Amino acid sequence: MIDFILSMALLIVSIQTSMFLAQCLFAYRRINVNKDVCDARATLLIPAHNEEAVISRTLSSLRAQLGPGDDILVVADNCSDKTASIVSAFAEESGLPIHVIERSHQTLRGKGFALDFGIQHLTIDPPEIVIIIDADCVAEAEAISLLKQQCMETGKPVQSNYLIEQANHQNIVGKISAFALVVKNVVRQKGMRGMNLPCIMVGAGMAFPWEAIRSIQLASGNIVEDMQMGVDLAIAGYEPIYCHQARIRSVLPDHPEVALKQRKRWEHGHMQTLLTQVPRLLGAAVRQRRATLLGHALDLSLPPLSLFFMVWAGLTVTTLVLSFFGAGNNALMLGGFAGIELGLAAALAWIGFGREVISVTELIRIPMYMLWKIPLYLGFIFNREKQWVRTDRDEERD
């Protein structure tokens, strides 16, 4: 019985590692995108909660990328600082079509509610495309035009190449976190595009046809509302795709306690979404007879990378111990197979995308990073993060 249970668990892990390896392989596939200028009218929607320290930088990165008819709408959501007045002053000084609306609610707080407020405002004169940009992000050259073009050409939501880079290049925890984000937000996303499968929505730099974003419920306190949006859109028939050439960048918090709080929100939200939305996607795949939803479910089923390695290692060590007592042999073979796939996938991800982020010698210290993450994962069981919490900015702590 124990052998059977372990074999089933490791069979699931093996299927997941096969998906991970496929993503890392297909991430090497070159996907060319049409760079023709798109004349569709877009609104850049920026939810902002107390972002006076960074909002001007974000607006400055967007000002040169507005096309004819494009505008920017900032939702100053439950702000107690000067965010709204800074946006208004920037709009007046630049002469650009930048607008700010203010929202205040004592209990309904979070990015999802701010986005819904902005969308409701846009129904008066809806654009063809809505592009969501977080208030602490910088859009690199051509990012907005590429998102617009891909959105109009495919009729699908488009996720940008969104990466949160490390501020302190000497911080080993920051380097490993940055590499994990490269794997999640770039390697796996690019691999899904290479396999012509839907991607996960991971935050800023998300473009939506107006009909698509109007088809889903945005007003919620979900702590990873972007992942939820991607699932809802895929089931509704608007499968998100990834655009590697459209680059949106932000910075990882440098302060350890802030970084830990941010990781807790991300990873608890990720695991909660995995538990609730993978079965939903599988059910929709069967009902709608869509293999792409099955691929989407398998992608979403992959836990955070550190936890993934921990689960594999724990199951494999258990089967190794049991093998000394004549049990667990079948499970041990599955564990070995999954381990080979994990090693190959990690090597492919690092060689193709991670060498500039972290060195080989620093990779050896990943097990120590995993130990640092154990309390975070235990917290999911005993003290789960359930409410959206804004990440403090380093600029505010200087």
pLDDT in tens, the chain (398 residues): 677 888 899 999 999 999 999 999 999 999 988 888 888 999 999 999 999 999 999 999 999 999 999 999 999 999 999 999 999 999 999 999 999 999 998 888 888 999 999 999 999 999 999 999 999 999 999 999 999 999 999 999 999 999 987 665 567 777 888 888 899 999 999 999 999 999 999 888 999 999 999 999 988 766 678 899 999 999 999 999 999 999 999 876 655 565 666 667 767 778 888 899 999 999 999 999 999 999 999 999 998 888 899 999 999 988 888 877 766 677 888 999 999 999 999 999 999 999 988 988 888 888 777 777 777 777 777 776 655 555 554 454 45
Q: Is residue 392 part of a domain?
A: no
Same domain as 19, residue 83: no
Same domain as 200, residue 304: no
Same domain as 59, residue 150: yes
Instruction: Transcribe 75-142 into DSSP letters.
Output: EEES--SSHHHHHHHHHHHH---EEEEEE--SS--SHHHHHHHHHHHHTTS--SEEEE--TT-EEPTT
Q: What is the pTM of this model?
A: 0.89
- Taking the C-alpha atoms of residue 202 and residue 124, their distance in angstroms, rounded to an integer, is 28
Same domain as 209, residue 93: yes
List the domain range (segments joined by +) for residue 224: 42-255
Q: Is residue 269 part of a domain?
A: no
Q: Is residue 273 part of a domain?
A: no
Q: Is residue 122 part of a domain?
A: yes
Indicate the number of domains in the chain: 2
Q: Is residue 299 part of a domain?
A: yes
Same domain as 49, residue 20: no
Same domain as 182, residue 228: yes
Q: Which residues contact 315 (CB under 8 A, 6 or more apart)?
A: 6, 9, 10, 13, 331, 335
101 in Cβ contact with 75 (< 8 Å): yes
Same domain as 321, residue 172: no
Q: Is residue 398 part of a domain?
A: no
Q: Is residue 396 part of a domain?
A: no
Helix or strand run (H / E) with residue 249: strand 241-251
Q: Is residue 267 part of a domain?
A: no
- The interaxial angle of helices 55-63 and 83-94, nearest 10 deg, is 30
- Taking the C-alpha atoms of residue 343 and residue 340, their distance in angstroms, rounded to an integer, is 5
Same domain as 220, residue 82: yes
Same domain as 144, residue 65: yes
Residue whose tokens read 């939820």: 228
Q: What is the amino acid identity at position 69?
A: G
Could you tell me the CA-to-CA distances from 278 to 116, 299, 342, 397 in Å, in that order? 24, 9, 21, 38
Same domain as 66, residue 8: no
- Taking the C-alpha atoms of residue 102 and residue 79, their distance in angstroms, rounded to an integer, is 8
Same domain as 224, residue 330: no
- Taking the C-alpha atoms of residue 109 and residue 62, their distance in angstroms, rounded to an integer, is 26
Same domain as 89, residue 21: no
